[in-house]
Amino acid sequence: MGGLAIHESQVYTLSKKLNEIQEKYFPGISVPINFHASDIRAGYVNHFNEYDQDERFEIMDDVYDIMHKAYPHNLIAFATCIDNTRYESPYQVTYDCFNSVCQSFNLFLYHRFKERDYVKGMLIIDRGREKQYLDIYGRFKISPHVQEYLANIVDIPYFGACSQTRMLQLADFVSNAVYRYYENDDCENIDKFLHLFYKGDRFRPPARGLNHITQNEECDCYACS
C-alpha cells in the first residue's frame, strides 16, 4: 500500500505534467486518460493496447520521471509492504497496512508541526475502496491506541475517482513500484523515487516512510536495512 503527501500548492503543477504526458502519447484525446500502472504495463485496456511493450514502458518511465525530478519537500512518499503469509484474514492485511501508512503520514505532519509548519493532513482514497476503508477508519476512531497517531489527520477519509484526479494516479505508481520490488525483486522504478520516502524530522536516512512488516529477521530490503 502506498501513497504520496502532496501540498495543495503542488497539485496543479503535478497534474499539468501528467496531462502533458497524455498529450505526448494521445494527442487526439481531450478526455483525461486514467494512468493506472498495471493497466499500462499489461496493455489490456483501451488506449494502451495500441502500443507495444517498449512504448508502454516508456509511458511509465515518463510518469516515474516526474517523481524522480521532484524536490523531496514537495512530494513525500509513504508505503508499507506486508508478508501476507503471516495472516489468515485479508481484512487484517489491509488494516495493518493502512495502520502503518497512517502512522508514517501522521509522524511526518507532527515533525512539520515541530518546525512551525502548522498544517493538517487529509486522506484521499480511491472511491472503489470506500466501504472497506470507512469500516477500517471507524475501527481506528474507537481505538485509543490508534487515536494517538491520528491527531494531525483531519476528519474522515475522503474518496475520489482515480480516473478524475491525477494525484491518485501518481500514488498508484508508488504502490506498483513497491509491489514489484518486493514481489519480483524489481527495483528499477522504486529507485527513481527512493529519495522521496519520508526520512524523519532531520530528513536523513533511513527512510521512515517505507515499512516492511515481516518475520524475516535477515531481510535486507530497503526498509529493513
Per-residue pLDDT reduced to its tens digit, 136-155: 988 888 887 777 778 888 88
Separation between Cα atoms, residue 10 and residue 115, nearest integer Å: 20
Separation between Cα atoms, residue 164 and residue 185, nearest integer Å: 31
pLDDT at 80 over 90: yes
Report which of 160, 192, 159 is spatially closest to residue 176, judged by C-alpha positions. 192
Question: Domain extents for the chain?
Answer: 2-213
Helices and strands per DSSP (H, E), number in the chain: 7, 5
Strand pairing category for 158-160 and 124-126: parallel
The band of 204, judged by pLDDT with boundaries at 50, 70 and 90, is low
Strand pairing category for 75-82 and 210-213: parallel
pTM (predicted TM-score): 0.92
Separation between Cα atoms, residue 125 and residue 139, nearest integer Å: 17
pLDDT at 198 over 80: yes
